[in-house]
Structure 1
Amino acid sequence: MISFSDHEMILIFGLLGNIVSFLVFLAPLPTFYTIYKNKSSEGFQSIPYVVALLSALLLLYYGFIKTNATLIITINCIGCAIEVSYLTMYIIYAPKKQKISTMVLILICDVGGFGLTMLISTFAVKGINRVHAVGWICAIFNIAVFAAPLSIMRRVIKTKSVEYMPFSLSLFLTLCATMWFFYGFFDKDYFIMLPNVLGFLFGISQMILYMIYKKAGKNIKTNCTQQQEREGTENSKQHSCDGYKIDIPSLVEMKENQLN
């Protein structure tokens, strides 16, 4: 039976964590392709990318002041570059109001928040206490980030629709939390390990909700379709079933449109 040392396990889970985290960072690419294609970021929010950049900056700083944390540094360097690219594109195509609000958010959170963390930890805390202080900041911030999907989960339960909670993203976030949990476990790094316990639990909860309400949504749509077939389509009506609306044009309107 093959056995691995703690150092080898740290390397294995760190590399896996880098790979999965990289895929998570790339998840918004379809969104930004849409923004580029439409030449407008209207309808999309910049807050998730501002928060993601701050998280990457804090973990990057933590990796630098912590010894033997190369794998934390590499993925967060990549993460910072990707998030800066997203925000740059967002600002380029954003309406004036959103452009200004996004730049204000970047200045307050990413520049001000990160800068304040560096100043306080550099001048107010020394030695190993600095690592612990920054580690606690990263842990608390990441717990808040992992708790953010609660609003999405509440929306899924309320609307009985999984439209705003894609399964693939929930899966990759769960895998990401799992890899970094084991990295922290074998590295005895509780600041990395503990937040990812919460990330794993929320990820599993999202996937369970997805399976429950995806099936419920299909049943509702099926019932709606059967109801439409029973009622017929001779008259132009807008039918609705438990939140799903289906517009069926009448044959008369179709003929009028053809004549016009």
Structure 2
Amino acid sequence: MTGTMAHLTLAFGILGNIVSFMVFLAPIPTFYKVYKKKSTEGFQSAPYVVGLFSAMLWIYYALLKTNVLLLITINSFGCVIETVYIAFFLFYAPKKARMESLKLIILLIFVGFGLIVVLTQFLASGVTRGVIVGWICLVFSLCVFVAPLGVLRQVIKTKSVEYMPILLSVALTVSAVMWFFYGLLLGDFNIAIPNVLGFTFGIIQMILYLVYRNNKPVTNEKIVGIGKIITELGEQKTPEFKDQKVVDVVLKLNDFKSADILPVVAKNAHKLDHVATEPQALHKMPYHTIEVGA
């Protein structure tokens, strides 16, 4: 029985490594786009910094244990690939995004991880040190697995799965299953418990995908409509700018929420430059007809 358990543990650990390896490689298409455009655009570095911190934390925990070599192998690869992603991001990011990323790296990697190592080394010893680090890993992993709640909320709100990559959701769910059984067979609940949450959220994501997979995103249709209205307003460049045209456009915009309008207005601001230079055209504009609210 002991031999069978050992073989099962090894099998789940290897499968966990394989699936997690593919999950770590998932952002490559994103960074290929960054490379092609020579810009990070709206992408954030936070997921990769958090990924690096998590990998480092699990390696530290594994080094305090004696039988979790497969936890070290995958997280070592995770440290390397996340570092590459972060370096790539910093190279192509604008100055403001680069500075924010560096602050996060210093705060989480150097200060956060550094304090965990120093405090556990000096204030704890032996088995107690491993227990403390295990609890830190457990709590942090639970926080990371809660992150998809934002995606689930967006899917339910928009009734669209446009921003929920199903292949990644499936891979994360399978990974959670593999690591759950690996931790369970080892008797290490610091590994097993967080993956219960990961598996649960993964199943919910797949159910939502099946429910909304054929729905068209409503928000996109609204944005297209807003864009057309703003373009229509922007085309009125003649000195004889008609007040009635402005009123018609404002009444149309009144049908949309401010959350839909603002991003498109910002994107099309150049089309409205002439309004700022021709203020006399707007002196009769009924501002009270625009409702700003959720």
Q: TM-score range by the shorter chain?
A: 0.7 to 0.9
- For residues 75 and 122 of structure 2, the distance between their equivalents in structure 1, rounded to whole angstroms, comes to 24
In the alignment, is residue 142 of structure 1 matched against residue 141 of structure 2?
A: yes
- For residues 75 and 26 of structure 1, the distance between their equivalents in structure 2, rounded to whole angstroms, comes to 12
- Which residue identity is paired with 2:38? K
Which residue in 1 is equivalent to 2:120?
121
- Which structure 2 residue ranges, 5 or more long, are not aligned? 219-251, 256-294
Which residue in 2 is equivalent to 1:251?
none
Q: TM-score, normalised by structure 2?
A: 0.73
Query: Shift of residue 9 of structure 1?
Result: 1.1
- Which residue identity is paired with 2:168? L
Which residue in 1 is equivalent to 2:152?
153
Which residue in 1 is equivalent to 2:182?
183
Report the aligned-residue RMSD: 2.4
- For residues 123 and 2 of structure 2, the distance between their equivalents in structure 1, rounded to whole angstroms, comes to 43
Q: TM-score, normalised by structure 1?
A: 0.82
In the alignment, is residue 213 of structure 1 matched against residue 212 of structure 2?
A: yes
Larger Rg: 2
- Which residue identity is paired with 2:216? G
- For residues 132 and 180 of structure 1, the distance between their equivalents in structure 2, rounded to whole angstroms, comes to 19
Which residue in 1 is equivalent to 2:43?
44
Which residue in 1 is equivalent to 2:162?
163
Aligned-residue sequence identity (percent) comes to: 53
- Which residue identity is paired with 2:80? A
Query: Shift of residue 215 of structure 1?
Result: 2.5
Q: Residue deviations 1:166-218, cap 9 Å, x none? A: 10000000000000000001000000000000000000001111111113339
In the alignment, is residue 54 of structure 1 matched against residue 53 of structure 2?
A: yes
Which residue in 1 is equivalent to 2:130?
131
- For residues 206 and 128 of structure 2, the distance between their equivalents in structure 1, rounded to whole angstroms, comes to 38
Which residue in 2 is equivalent to 1:29?
28
RCO higher in structure (CA 8 A, sep ≥6): 1
Query: SS where residue 216 of structure 1 aligns?
Result: coil
- Which structure 1 residue ranges, 5 or more long, are not aligned? 221-237, 241-260
Query: SS where residue 43 of structure 2 aligns?
Result: coil
- For residues 3 and 149 of structure 2, the distance between their equivalents in structure 1, rounded to whole angstroms, comes to 37
- For residues 111 and 98 of structure 1, the distance between their equivalents in structure 2, rounded to whole angstroms, comes to 19
- Which residue identity is paired with 1:26? L
- For residues 36 and 94 of structure 1, the distance between their equivalents in structure 2, rounded to whole angstroms, comes to 11
Q: Residue deviations 1:2-31, cap 9 Å, x none? A: 996211111000000000000000011110
